[in-house]
Every structure is written in structure tokens, then in C-alpha cells.
Amino acid sequence: MDWIRMVFALGFVFLVIPTNAEFTSNELKMFEDLATYVKSLELKLTQVEKKLENVEIELEGQKEINRKQTNELNAQRIIIDSLRANNNKLKQDVDKIGQQNEITDHVLKQIVQSRDDIEVNENMTKSRAGRNVERDVSDQNTIRVVRQERENIAFSAYLNRDLSNLGPGHTIQYGAAVLNEGNAFNVNTGIFTVPLSGVYLFSFACEDFHNHRIFADILVDGTRKSLVLESPAGDSHAMGTNVVILRLTKGQAVWVAIDASGHDDFLQNTATTFSGVFLYY
């Protein structure tokens, strides 16, 4: 702040010193220096004022920028408020859709349950009517194959060797078969195990020679169902045959055995046979 003090000092000098006073060369030099200094101060003051004007202009520009930014900020706030309102509306719509979906799922479950109840009732009705309904099987081809396999039950066995010294109750073990559809007949034991409940036809034949006599039974679980009698006919071959139709239950066993009431000690091969076939359910 030295220039301010010098200005005051210069003004004081002009006020105090009379205008008609005479000055020395040194005093004149001092006044000239003061005048030059005052001019430089005036120039600096002008520059400061110019800078102040520029600063004021910049401030006005900054105020305008701030005003625009404030307007933009307010516009952004309005947009955000609108988005929040839309978001709240969307949430409400989603909640309504969720409630509608729950109602729809409940209705669908009731429909499915009703359909299942109807199917169960239909199956129960069919069962009461005596129909064999295959449930829980979706593949119709599998059902058809299973039925076909069940119905293909047939066998035909023959004695592959001569038997002698046969006692009462001796089961004829045929040893060979020309047909065994369904693999229900055991050629080694001579026993047919019923694979499917239903009606079956069986035939059996016995052959001997040289005055031998044979009584043979067809047995189901040890109970006689039919009888073959082969009586001597001189010095030649003799044969007895029989056919029987039986309703059997799955798991029962059927075989041919020598009858206890009459027997002899020889049974000839090849013509001694045992056959069976499934007829119907």
C-alpha cells in the first residue's frame, strides 16, 4: 500500500506549499518523480479496473453457467421422479400379475386334480367290471410287446432216452423239447411252471413194448387232473394218450408222473411226449 501513502503525501505537498513558492532543483526533481509515479499508479489502477471488469464478466458468465446447470439439475430431478413413479407402477403391475399367476396355477392344479380323479374313477370302474387295465404305462408299444410275449406260451417235449425201473410217483424227465415258447417248461425236470393265469391245453402220451403196462397222470401241484393207461398188447409196441384243458393260476406247476395204482418198469423214448399251450385269459 506504499503508492497510497505517496499519493497522500503528494497531495499534502501541493496543498501546503503556496503556488508562488520557488523550488530548488532537487525539489523539482522530487515533484517530477512523484508525478511520474502517480501516472504509473493511474496506469496500474486502470489495469486493475480492467481486470475487475473482466472478473465481473467472468462472474456473470459463471452465474449463467450455474443457472443453466441448476435448470438441468432440476430437469434431471423431474425425470428421476417420473422414473420412480413409473417404477412403482411397474412393481404394482408385477404384483398384480403374480397374483393372477397364483390364481391361474391354483385353477390349473384343480383341473389336473379333477382329471386325475376322473382317470382314477374310470380305472376303478374298469376294475370292478373285470377288465385288466394296464396303469402307469405310457408307451403303447411296450404294452403291445408285453402282451405278445405273455401270449406266446407253448411247449412240446419228448423223452430222449428209454426209462426203466419206474416207481410210483416218478416224474418223467423228458430231456428234450421241439418247442418252448416263453421258456416256462424245464426239459430237465419235466415241470411246466404257469407264467400267466388263464386256460391251457395239455396232451401227453406214453409208449412201451414187450408186454409192459404203464399208468401215467398229469398233475397240477401234485393233484391228478387226467390219466393215461397203456396196456400190454402182445409182443409189440403200445401207446396211450390223453388231452386235458385246465384253468390255471400263475405259479402253479404241471408235470407227468407214473401213477401209484398201476405201473411197470419200462417207458420207451421218442413217442413218449408232453405238450401244452396257452389258450386265453
In this prediction, residue 109 carries a pLDDT of: 81
Q: Which residues of the chain have pLDDT under 50?
A: 133, 137, 142-143, 145-146
Q: What CATH number matches the domain at 149-280, 3.30.565.40, 3.40.640.10, 2.60.120.40, 2.40.50.140?
A: 2.60.120.40
Domain boundaries, the chain: 1-129, 149-280
Return the bridge partners of 204, or none: 242, 274
In this prediction, residue 133 carries a pLDDT of: 44
How does 80-97 read in b/e, with b if 16+ C-beta sit within 10 Å?
A: eeeeeeeeeeeeeeeeee
Q: What is the pTM of this model?
A: 0.47
Phi, psi of 113 (to 5 degrees): -65, -40
In this prediction, residue 146 carries a pLDDT of: 47
CB atoms inside a 10 Å sphere around CB 67: 10
In this prediction, residue 184 carries a pLDDT of: 97
In this prediction, residue 221 carries a pLDDT of: 96
Condensed to tens digits (0 to 9), the pLDDT of residues 110-163 reads 877 767 666 656 666 566 655 554 555 455 554 454 455 557 999 999 999 888
